[in-house]
Structure 1
């Protein structure tokens, strides 16, 4: 399974709140996301504000992409949402 992450700025999803980011799996573009709670609990986001979430994502995108890659490998080519509980149990 070939997985990559385009160098794009994640989109803020106010309803979540969350950040949505793209993953490309075998040439198929998927929208994945990470919740604001996960970014606050595990990556130091100071608030659920767009800028704070983006800063935490940027500072830890490698770890977030590793986790996303792991879930995509386990679940197959489908959008995934990274919740705080995933990182709590993965640590």
Structure 2
């Protein structure tokens, strides 16, 4: 499975209170997201304010994308929503 992360601007999703970003899995775009809680618990966001979440995502994008790649492989390329527990119990491995 080939996974890449095009450098598109992340988007805030108010319904899930998350930051969404794109992965490319075997040439197909796949939506991924990380919860506000995960960004606050593990990446320094000080609130669920859109600007804070986006800043925390951008500052830690490579680690977040590594974790998303792990779960994309585990879930056979289906969409991924990373939550706080994903980072609490697992360490990102190089892709």
TM-score tier after normalising by the smaller chain length: over 0.9
Alignment match, 1:2:
2
- The gaps in structure 1 that reach 5 residues or longer are none
RMSD: 0.8
Q: TM-score normalized by structure 2?
A: 0.92
Query: For each residue in 1:21-61, what CA deviation from the matched residue of structure 2 results, as whole angstroms up to 9, or x when unmatched?
Result: 10000011011100000000000001101100000001000
CA distance in 2, matches of 1:77, 1:14: 24
Q: TM-score normalized by structure 1?
A: 0.96
Residue 2 of structure 1, CA deviation: 0.7
Count residues in correspondence: 91
Q: Structure 1 segments of 4 or more deviating over 3 A?
A: none
- The gaps in structure 2 that reach 5 residues or longer are none
Name the SS of the counterpart of 2:54 in structure 1: helix
